[in-house]
Homo-oligomer: A and B are copies of this chain.
């Protein structure tokens, strides 16, 4: 008989998924309740509130899509975009392509505004195209994990309003580890996934929708045949192409009507609730600062090893850094992957490879969720130093760890235990049972 699951111990320092907070994993082991049990519907409502804090929004329509991050992306785009709609997609990496691809499959006309990988898109170019096209939406990635760059978003809300567009943002890789201001930046729709800075497993996609976006979605509401009642007239807009990702129906399920749609993935709901609860306890701002501090230490550390970072420093995400694979390894087939494999095998530490034009060119190292802590950063740098040296690359002894320690040095709180660690953190406030 096959054995029960028994994963090897790992320290996940790639671009995600990263290690989930053990408290989140334990929350998933809680027993199920029925779909319309008062405890269940109360928990859904409570979870909406907890996520509003994370998103920094007052949006009523703040909930979960049951799927991975790209389910959230597709739910937003297929519900907002009708076939024939125009959409402007700034693109500076793989996930910009993904937004374009999903929009195309939804039948929209895509107007790409591209920038070279390693940089971001000039907002003036976005404005110029949006003024010309007057699109239904502008759809943009915040942090594109493929390049580690974060697009500045603060100017885009105004461009969207000026041009009559809705602003959609893919915050999968940044939310919970970088400053993200749904309301202050005028974002109409944003989605994420739990497996990066948010400290959970993949499989649940938090989403938030402004009243403008929600109204657009409601204008396309068509309740499905098996459950519609006499007063469920069809809205004038075109029926949304997907049933599973139909946000009009999902809003009715999370809203006071509790109209049956899918069966909410209860264990993932518990996980998403616990992620948001822990983020709220740490403080959204404190958590972004923690990611910035440990991310900066990793950048200093890889440079201290003599490695070159990829991309424009001004736009670097807090939580993932790409480093050029040393020349000698880059040219020898398989050598770059062999170094990653040695790090996994000898130290149990995972770092990431990359896609498209960067494939074979850079490694990507993540510092996020519980991984945004001092011992994880230092252990990764120490391990990397060893495997690079064994691969014949000249690296200064202790150069990575020393540089990271120096980066921490100036901050009184730079290296200490972080509240994210259970045991090491402050006791849970009284009243938490």
Chain A contact residues, CB within 8 Å of chain B: 1-10, 12, 14, 16-20, 22-23, 25-37, 39, 43, 46, 50, 66-71, 74, 78, 93-98, 100-102, 105-106, 146, 193, 195, 201-203, 224-227, 239-245, 260-268, 270-271, 273-274, 277, 280-281, 344, 350, 352-353, 355-356, 428-429, 431-433
- Contacts A67-B67, A225-B100 given; does A17 touch B5 at CB 8 Å: no
| CB <8 Å contact, A203 and B267 | yes
Q: In the complex, A255 Cα to B143 Cα: how many Å?
A: 29
| CB <8 Å contact, B243 and A242 | no
| CB <8 Å contact, B244 and A8 | no
Chain B residue, CB-CB nearest to A38: B344
| CB <8 Å contact, A74 and B244 | yes
Q: In the complex, A299 Cα to B283 Cα: how many Å?
A: 53
| CB <8 Å contact, A7 and B28 | no
Q: In the complex, A1 Cα to B277 Cα: how many Å?
A: 8
Give the distance to chain B from A353, nearest Cβ to Cβ, in Å. 8
Give the distance to chain B from A431, nearest Cβ to Cβ, in Å. 7
| CB <8 Å contact, A280 and B226 | no
Copies of this protein in the assembly total 2
| CB <8 Å contact, B33 and A7 | yes
- Contacts A74-B242, A268-B203, A355-B226 given; does A35 touch B7 at CB 8 Å: no
Which of B30, B263, B431 makes the CB contact (< 8 A) with A6? Answer: B30
| CB <8 Å contact, A46 and B2 | yes
Secondary structure type dominating chain A contacts: loop
- Contacts A1-B431, A202-B265, A224-B97 given; does A19 touch B37 at CB 8 Å: no
Give the chain B neighbours of A281 by CB distance below 8 A: 1
Which of B268, B270, B432 makes the CB contact (< 8 A) with A268? Answer: B268
| CB <8 Å contact, B32 and A350 | no
| CB <8 Å contact, A226 and B68 | no
Give the chain B neighbours of A66 by CB distance below 8 A: 67-68, 71, 202-203
Give the chain B neighbours of A266 by CB distance below 8 A: 17, 201-203
In the assembled complex, 11 residue pairs joining A and B whose CB atoms fall closer than 8 Å, in A order, are A5-B27, A5-B274, A29-B29, A71-B262, A74-B243, A78-B242, A201-B265, A201-B267, A202-B262, A203-B266, A226-B355
Which of B102, B241, B244, B429 makes the CB contact (< 8 A) with A1? Answer: B429
Sample of 18 further A-B pairs with CB below 8 A, known A17-B266, A106-B241: A1-B281, A4-B433, A7-B30, A12-B32, A19-B31, A19-B32, A20-B267, A25-B28, A36-B353, A66-B68, A66-B202, A70-B262, A102-B244, A201-B268, A202-B265, A242-B242, A260-B355, A268-B268
